[in-house]
């Protein structure tokens, strides 16, 4: 059981590591210069979203495996409910 637990620990943490790597390489200033309407997307608000995403990924990396698995199951359930809702429309 420990090998399966170790593999799950690695597999469930890979998306957070990839997201942190992408956020580390991404420059917020370049993205905010591409916007045409500054009233909709201001640089400080974009910077806040950037730091919030980094903080979220860091917290997800620090979660214990049981809580991380439960979080992924909740996200999967919400996605399936949304897809069922869209299909039923």
| Residue 6: per-residue pLDDT | 86
Stated pTM of the model: 0.69
Percent of the chain whose predicted confidence (pLDDT) is above 90: 42
46 near 32, Cβ under 8 Å?
yes
Choose from 13-17, 30-34, 84-88 the range with maximum mean pLDDT: 84-88
In whole numbers, what is the pLDDT of the chain averaged over residues? Answer: 84
Please provide the size of the chain in residues: 89
| Residue 2: per-residue pLDDT | 83
Cα–Cα distance measured from residue 19 to residue 50, given in angstroms and rounded to the nearest whole number? 11
The Cβ of residue 60 has, within 10 Å, a number of other Cβ atoms equal to 19
Percent of the chain whose predicted confidence (pLDDT) is above 70: 80
pLDDT, one tens digit per residue, over 68-77 is 999 999 999 9
């Amino acid at each position: 059981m420990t090998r399966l637990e170790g593999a799950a620990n690695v597999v469930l943490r890979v998306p957070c590591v990839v997201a942190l790597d992408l956020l580390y390489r991404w420059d917020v200033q370049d993205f905010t210069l591409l916007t045409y309407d500054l009233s909709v997307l201001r640089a400080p608000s974009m910077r806040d979203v950037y730091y919030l995403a980094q903080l979220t990924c860091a917290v997800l990396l620090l979660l214990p495996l049981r809580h991380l698995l439960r979080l992924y199951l909740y996200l999967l359930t919400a996605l399936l409910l949304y897809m069922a809702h869209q299909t039923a429309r």
